[in-house]
Each structure stands twice: as C-alpha cells, then as structure tokens.
Amino acid sequence: MKRRTGQDRSVTQNWKPATLAIRGGTARSEWGETSEALFLTSGYAYDCAGDAAARFAGEQAGMTYSRLQNPTVEMLEQRIALLEGAEACRATASGMAAMTAALLCQLQSGDHLIGGRAAFGSCRWLTDTLLPKFGIETTVIDARDPQQFADAIRPNTKVFFFETPANPTMDVVDLQAVCDIARARGITTVVDNAFATPALQRPLEFGADVVAYSATKMMDGQGRVLAGAICGTEDFIVNTLLPFHRNTGPTLSAFNAWVVLKGLETLDLRIKRQSENAIRVASFLEGRVPRVNFPGLPSHSQHNLAMRQMDAAGPIFSIELDGGRTQAHGLLDALGLIDISNNIGDSRSLMTHPASTTHYGVAPEQRAIMGVGEGMLRLNVGLEDPEDVIADLDQALTAVGL
C-alpha cells in the first residue's frame, strides 16, 4: 500500500482524533485515489490454484471472499479501531448485528449475563428473550447504581452488557466503577456506545473490554445506511468474535462501509455542534415541560458523572409530559420542522414516542420499570439553526396546552 495510508500504526500513533477520523485506515489502491475506493466485489480471483489454497490456509496474505474480508470494510474497521483506541474492530451489517454477535460469540448455555434495564428495545429483547432461549440466564438491573451489578453477580456471570447514556431514559453508567467490578471478578464488559461514539466517550479508557456500535446513528450521521461495529482486543476479535462472525455472516456491505467512512470524516464537527444545539434546545424545554432527561444540563442528577466520562453530552435526550400518550402524540403531530422519526444521530432534528415505537416490543410493565412512560418523547437535535428547532417546539407545545 502507498505512503501515508494510515495502515501502519507506527505512522498513525501520533495522529490526533480529528486526523484519524479523516485519514486513519486509508489503504490506497494502485491508482492513488485520494478518497477511499469502494470495492463492490463479493469474491477475489487468484493467479493460480495454489494461491487460493495458500490464502485459505492463511499462508498467503490477501482476501478470499467478502463475507470474510473486503478492502473498503477493512478501511472502516481500521478507522473505528484507531478512533476507539482499540487493538481491533469488526464491522457489522447493523447495530443489532453488532450487539447480537458481541454477546453470542462469547456466551453459552449455563452462562449468566447482567444487563442494564434501561436500553434500546431490541437490546432488551436480546437479554429478555433471545439469550434465555439458548439457556443463558440474564438479570436486568438499574445500571446507574454500580452496586447493583456487584450484588447480581453469580458464579456463572460472564458478561455485563449496558449502554451509556441509555436509550431513551438517558441513564448514565459509571464506567470506571462498573468496569472495576467486572475486572475484579473476571467478567467481560460489553458497552453499547452508540449515543456517544468515540468522539465523546471511549469506554476502553475506563477498563471496558468490548465496545459495540450502531454506526447507523452518529457515525453515518446523515440517516443513510445501517451499520455496526465491535471493538476489542486483537485476541477477542480474532479468536472469539471472528469464528462466529465469519460463519454466521452479519457482514457489513462495502457500500455501507464507504458511506460510514465518509460520515466519520465529519463526526467530530457534527457531534460537537449537535451537542451544543441540544443544550440550547434542552434549556428552552426545561421549565416548559415537566421533566427533561438530559445529562448535559447542570440540573440533571448525573451531570457531573456524565461530564467526567464524556467530552460533551451528545445530541439526544428525552422529555416527559404529564398528559400521557394523547399529549405526546399531539405534540408530535403539531411539529412543522422536526420530523416524527424513530432514528437518531441524524443531522436532521427527529422526535419519537418510544413507548409506541422503539420500545413497543418491551412489555408495558418492563417499560414502566425502565422509566419509559406514555408521556415520554425522545429528541435528536440536528444541525439546523437551534432557534428554528426551538420555534417549532414552542408552537407544538402551545398546541398541546403547554
């Protein structure tokens, strides 16, 4: 590969995150293209049968099949690993493919997992439905309290699985405290870092073992493709994840990898501006609605912890209205600029009613325990002028009597 490609860690180790986001992992072809090449190929041709055999035997460098390797996907994996400060990364077809693979590759019947109870609906489905179906015991706890992790440990506990901040309650997990508990007991921590991304929070620095992503969110950042990623040690990725990933095939397409590579170039700029915009919008909402769940606000009970482990609070938060689903849906229906959409991390401002969308599949009594009420709305603050977003919310709130 060519000069200054970013493939060589001795070259990149001194680069700062903003540089890594643009150049990390770049591997130029013989044409020397400046922008990353998109390799739309499912297979690779060999000069002779012996080369094919040697590559499959691992005796010759090179690619064999795009479920296993693809140059564009590898560039993305290198870039995410560099940004995360991880030894290795494997990209996946979606965030849920990442969460599922990160858990199933290391758990087996008879093991026990402790999960944060506040979590994205499909992540709760993994802990509540999928894992128990395969004989893996699970316990969900209030992950804001590290002691609850310690108290729930059993002799067969293998994994702690949680997101911070959590979707959509914005519960913050004390990364250092929880990772310390896990380390002391030989338990693997799997952190879903979708809301923060490595631009704002790097769980490995606090002792986490595995960091998993929905790259569909801030990493793409413009609502275009589904993607995911799993970061960890070389040993975990190569010896634990890869056998599962290569043979079950939750592989990221080269096209989607290319889109996320382009997204990462502006991640730092976008997430910082969107975080600032979110503070402006949340400050407006405070006092106007009964509750604003945003660790970025000094009034939030976990503000100090969030600011200790995050560089900024991110673009996503939730609010709670007292008028239940009727008032929440009424507010959504009165919006003019903000889209009603269950996606997040987009450069557009989006709003959703979790109880009837992202958390529809979670049993109502579980939703209540998680704190996802009928009056909750989740907001992703985009890159629009925050004054326009505030004006839209102002008129929608007035329309529902607030």
Binding site for ligand PLP (CB under 6 A): 94-96, 99, 120, 122-123, 163, 167, 192, 194, 214, 216, 226, 228
Minimum distance, C-beta of residue 361 to ligand PLP, in the bound complex (Å): 12
Q: Which is nearer to ligand PLP, 6 or 382 (CB)?
A: 382
Minimum distance, C-beta of residue 80 to ligand PLP, in the bound complex (Å): 14
Specify whether the CB–CB gap between 24 and 12 falls below 8 A.
yes
Burial of 10 (0-12, 13-18, 19+ CB in 10 A): exposed
Angle between helices 386-399 and 267-285 (to 10 degrees): 40
What does the alpha-carbon distance between residue 25 and residue 395 come to, in Å, rounded to a whole number? Answer: 46
Residue whose C-alpha is closest to residue 256's, from 55, 66, 13: 66
Minimum distance, C-beta of residue 215 to ligand PLP, in the bound complex (Å): 7
Rounding to the nearest 10 degrees, give the CA dihedral for residues 41, 73, 252, 38: -50
What does the alpha-carbon distance between residue 8 and residue 233 come to, in Å, rounded to a whole number? Answer: 17
Minimum distance, C-beta of residue 169 to ligand PLP, in the bound complex (Å): 11
Q: Which is nearer to ligand PLP, 188 or 193 (CB)?
A: 193
Q: Which is nearer to ligand PLP, 136 or 215 (CB)?
A: 215
Q: Which is nearer to ligand PLP, 103 or 396 (CB)?
A: 103
Q: Which is nearer to ligand PLP, 193 or 277 (CB)?
A: 193
Q: Distances in Å between the alpha carbon of 281 and those of 296, 354, 374?
A: 11, 19, 22
Minimum distance, C-beta of residue 166 to ligand PLP, in the bound complex (Å): 7
Minimum distance, C-beta of residue 325 to ligand PLP, in the bound complex (Å): 20
Residue nearest to ligand PLP (CB): 95
What does the alpha-carbon distance between residue 163 and residue 48 come to, in Å, rounded to a whole number? Answer: 48
Minimum distance, C-beta of residue 270 to ligand PLP, in the bound complex (Å): 17
Q: Which is nearer to ligand PLP, 94 or 275 (CB)?
A: 94
What does the alpha-carbon distance between residue 206 and residue 83 come to, in Å, rounded to a whole number? Answer: 15
Element (H, E) at 148: helix 146-152
Q: Which is nearer to ligand PLP, 106 or 216 (CB)?
A: 216
Residue whose C-alpha is closest to residue 264's, from 28, 23, 12: 23
